[in-house]
Amino acid sequence: MTASGSPSLPVKTVPSPRQIRSTPSWGNWRQRLRLWSGLILFVFCLSHFSNHALGVISVDAMEKASIWHYKVWRNPFGESLLLVAAMTHVLLALWRTARRRTLKMPRWEFIQLVFGFYIPWSLIPHVGTTMGLANNFGFAPTYHQMLTILWPEHGVTQSLLLLVVWSHSMIGLHFWLRLYPLYYRLRFVALAFAVAMPVLALWGFIEGARRLELAKDVKVKVSEAQFDWLTTFVIEGRAVVFGLIACSLLVILFRYLIGLSARRLTITYPGSLAVRAKPGATLLEISRINDVPIASVCGGRARCSTCRVKVFEGEETLAPPEAAEKAVLMRISADKGVRLACQIRPLQNLGVQPLVPVKVTSETSENLKDAYYWGVEQEVVVMFVDLRNFTRITESQLAYDVVHLLNSYLDQASGAIRSEGGFVDKFIGDGIMAIFGMDNNPGQGARQALRAAKRIEAVMQSLETEKGPQFSDPIRLGIGLHLGPAILGRIGVAGASGGLTALGDVVNTASRLETENKTHGSFLVVSKAVIDAAEAEILEAENAEINVRGKEIPLQIFAVNSLDTVKIPEG
């Protein structure tokens, strides 16, 4: 049996999702600058909040630790570094906000944006006290002084500020680090740290402040004139912050109003879905405005590649990729016509197909809820099963007997595939094509495929036992298994729920491996990629290499006579 009759689309070999996650891009220079400035601010907050936590022991412990904190951050270099980092981070955030064409965004991104606006507004009184009064009037912002000033009148707002600052930084760190495998392995440790630190910091802050309030032996060393200066500083500082935030939002509004009279272009998605849009916005923003789901793990920063799309119409009208986008596309060995939705800004009509599945909400239309409606790029295991010598077996047999044998074989074999979590793609005469790993990772898919092959071996033995005396030739099946990237999509049934199939080299290669059973006289021919992904152990098999059309490197395969010689891990 061959793969003729099954659609195929050549797909360039790309790194696995695990490999892609291990080498994320750093984005453009503005994103790198924003990241590094944010990391500097995070280190300061971590040091400051750790100092707060010592209030659980005593205020004196807080004071002793603050000596080291101030040695790092209150010298000319540390103070300048902190101020430059804060200004850089805030201004770049406002610049990025002003460039938006819509405020539609994922929930986590919106929360981080709102928290980012809240922090400078609420932080100004604290900065004015600890740095303004210190630099202008020689005030020493010790814990005894600051806790007495803040508690109890400003205790709630200060606690809220601490939680908002920490949450803002944790959201940013999570969506930066989640592209790295090490972070994924340590995610529970990271979660424990993310929860424990603000709890300890608040506990220390409140405990220390309450102790000083009960003692009532601290005299605040700030005069009325100095408090008046601080009030003026806060009003003027908040006016500047409010003005900058308002300007960034007004730019978005101004663009929207100008766009009402601007010419329109059409973006076409799979299934003949077309939306009208104004030039200037990124494809990701256009999709969000029109509730078309496109994945974006990094939030549109050209780091993760999950928003990649295949441009099938109007590619020549797009500007060439900039450095950040080009680096990501090179890293994933993207084919011609693949671009990042967060980076391209259509000026003419465009036709695109998203390549990565996306989570959807209950408000999403039925077609958009189905990731395969769009086409999904994913590593899967493809299986081909064939009934050997079917023509010879059925020669001179009654039609009823032939159909009964064929249906019994197809029913039992497809049942074995489904029982192990596989998806039966299609029946091709006396053959079956199936897909494994669609709902999990390649390793699990490979193990499921090997276990399904073992079940099909039992089906073959059962058919041999049950066949009638009119069938003189033995029942023999052959299976081919291969792992690789494929495009999974619903072909030829726009809007319908059926028609799901796999396209790509992995399909043709799996079909080729199935035919290799004739050469080796085996039951199963499986590629080394499947065995490695499944972490299986083969005790007895013929090891060989075959040349695959279009591939320079020979493919290593194992020809197996019985699945009893293959040890398949659980899971």
Taking the CA atoms of the chain, what radius of gyration do you get in angstroms?
Answer: 32
Last residue of a domain, one of 204, 238, 259: 259
Question: Both 308 and 226 in a single domain?
Answer: no
- Assess whether pLDDT exceeds 90 at residue 26: no
Query: Is 250 part of a structural domain of the chain?
Result: yes
Last residue of a domain, one of 319, 345, 366: 366
Question: Both 478 and 508 in a single domain?
Answer: yes
Helix (H/G/I), strand (E/B), else coil: 87:
helix
- Assess whether pLDDT exceeds 70 at residue 70: yes
- Assess whether pLDDT exceeds 70 at residue 541: yes
d(CA 268, CA 313): 9
Task: Give phi and psi for 134, each to the nearest 5.
Answer: -65, -45
CATH number assigned to the domain comprising residue 80: 1.20.1300
pLDDT digit string (tens) for 322-363?
888 888 888 877 888 899 999 999 999 999 988 876 654 444
Q: What's the start-to-end Cα distance of the chain, in Å?
A: 31
Among the residue ranges 45-54, 105-114, 225-234, 449-458, the one predicted with the least confidence is: 105-114
Please give the C-alpha separations between residue 9 and each of 6, 279, 488, in angstroms, as whole numbers.
10, 32, 11
Question: Both 161 and 222 in a single domain?
Answer: yes
Report the domain count for the chain. 3
Report residue 16's pLDDT band, with 50, 70 and 90 as the boundaries: very low
Average pLDDT over residues 367-382: 68
Residue 320, pLDDT score: 92
pLDDT digit string (tens) for 76-106?
999 999 999 999 999 999 988 888 877 777 7
Average pLDDT over residues 421-443: 90
Residue 228, pLDDT score: 94
- Assess whether pLDDT exceeds 50 at residue 460: yes
Question: Both 90 and 236 in a single domain?
Answer: yes
Query: Is 3 part of a structural domain of the chain?
Result: no
CATH number assigned to the domain comprising residue 298: 3.10.20.30
Query: Is 416 part of a structural domain of the chain?
Result: yes
Question: Both 405 and 360 in a single domain?
Answer: no
Task: Give phi and psi for 9, each to the nearest 5.
Answer: -135, 120
- Assess whether pLDDT exceeds 70 at residue 138: yes
Helix (H/G/I), strand (E/B), else coil: 139:
coil
| DSSP-derived pairing of the beta strands 542-546 and 423-428 | unpaired
Question: Both 420 and 466 in a single domain?
Answer: yes
Question: Both 232 and 327 in a single domain?
Answer: no
Last residue of a domain, one of 366, 395, 413: 366
Query: Is 8 part of a structural domain of the chain?
Result: no
Domain span at residue 271 reads: 265-366
Residue 201, pLDDT score: 97
Question: Both 393 and 358 in a single domain?
Answer: no
- Assess whether pLDDT exceeds 70 at residue 271: no
Question: Both 208 and 324 in a single domain?
Answer: no
b/e map 124-156, b = 16+ CB within 10 Å? bbbebbbbbbeeeeebebbbbbbbbbbbeeebe
Whether pTM > 0.85 for this model: the answer is no
